[in-house]
Amino acid sequence: QVHHGFYSAYYNTTLRHEILKSVQWAWKTYGRLPINVVGHSMGGALASFCALDLSVKWGSHKVQLITFGQPRVGNPAFAEYFNEQVPRTIRVTHENDIVPHLPPYFYYLGEWTYHHFAREVWLRETIVGNVVTRNETVCDCSGEDPTCSRSVYGRSVADHLEYYGVNLHADSRGTCQFVIGASNSAYGDILQFDGTIILSRYPQKRYPVESI
């Protein structure tokens, strides 16, 4: 069982069609590169369904998923299935980020509760005197490690909007932008082609999309 809203936002919109088309275009143009699926918040939920879709379609060895502050999207049976189909998954959480605690997890409901898939990496800071230490805890394979983000009350919106020092907040659609690290700044040529956004070091040629 999965969350109907998140599932529908991926499968019942143009999103899935455009992503599959873009992957086919990239493979036709550059060869069969590995696929990295990334998302934050609700985008992380959609990225999860996308990674599962691509993994079932083209093989788990081609797909890697990393999400930041994503909510739960399915029950324990789905989480187990997801772990099998998309084993190369990292689900990053930050301090007291509220969103990974939603929808709620109730252990006593068994298969009738929402349940995270693995593997969580929990970011947090510890302060001893004047020393601030940033920690990355690699959690267990249960998806609901009680020593990671489940060990705190998830009540912070601020922690949700900042990951690895990057502010992920946008005041409006017009303020959304690409986040490009300094090491990748050379790939600053941005081209939008038939719904596909391309970041490149060099100006791009326009290739037709063909089925694979």
Contact 176, 170 (CB under 8 A): yes
- What is the CATH classification number for the domain harbouring 137? 3.40.50.1820
Q: Which amino acid is at 166?
A: V
pLDDT tens for 52-63 read: 999 999 999 999
Residue 208 lies in a domain: no
Tens of pLDDT, residue by residue over 179-206, are: 555 555 565 565 655 555 566 655 555 4
> Helices in the chain by DSSP H: which ranges?
4-11, 14-30, 42-58, 76-85
- As a whole number of angstroms, the distance between CA 124 and CA 177 comes to 26
Is 8 a member of any domain? Answer: yes
Does 157 map to a domain? yes
Candidates 39, 125, 133, 124; CA nearest to 89 is 39
Catalytic residue among 40, 41, 53, 142: 41
In a domain, 155, yes or no: yes
Domain assignment present for residue 209? The answer is: no
pLDDT of residue 73: 97
Is 142 labeled as catalytic in the residue annotation?
Answer: no
Domain encompassing residue 52: 4-22+32-200
Give a yes or no: residue 47 inside a domain.
Answer: yes
**Domain assignment present for 207:** no
Phi, psi of 139 (to 5 degrees): -85, 175
**pLDDT of the chain, 212 residues: tens digit per residue:** 999 999 999 999 889 999 999 999 999 999 999 999 999 999 999 999 999 999 999 999 999 999 999 999 999 999 999 999 999 999 999 999 999 999 999 989 999 999 999 999 999 998 888 888 999 999 999 999 999 999 999 999 999 999 998 888 766 655 555 555 555 556 556 565 555 556 665 555 544 444 44
Q: Is residue 27 in some structural domain? A: no
Choose the catalytic residue: 40, 94, 97, 142. 97
- Of 197, 201, 202, 204, the C-alpha closest to 19 is 197
Known catalytic residue: 97? yes
pTM: 0.81
Q: Are strands 189-193 and 35-40 parallel, antiparallel or unpaired?
A: unpaired
By DSSP bridging, strand 120-128 and strand 35-40 are unpaired
Residue 17: active-site member: no
Cα dihedral 55, 56, 61, 64 in deg (nearest 10): 10
What is the domain count for the chain? 1
Residue 81: closest CA among 124, 58, 111: 111
Active site residue: 3, 101, 115, 160, which one?
160
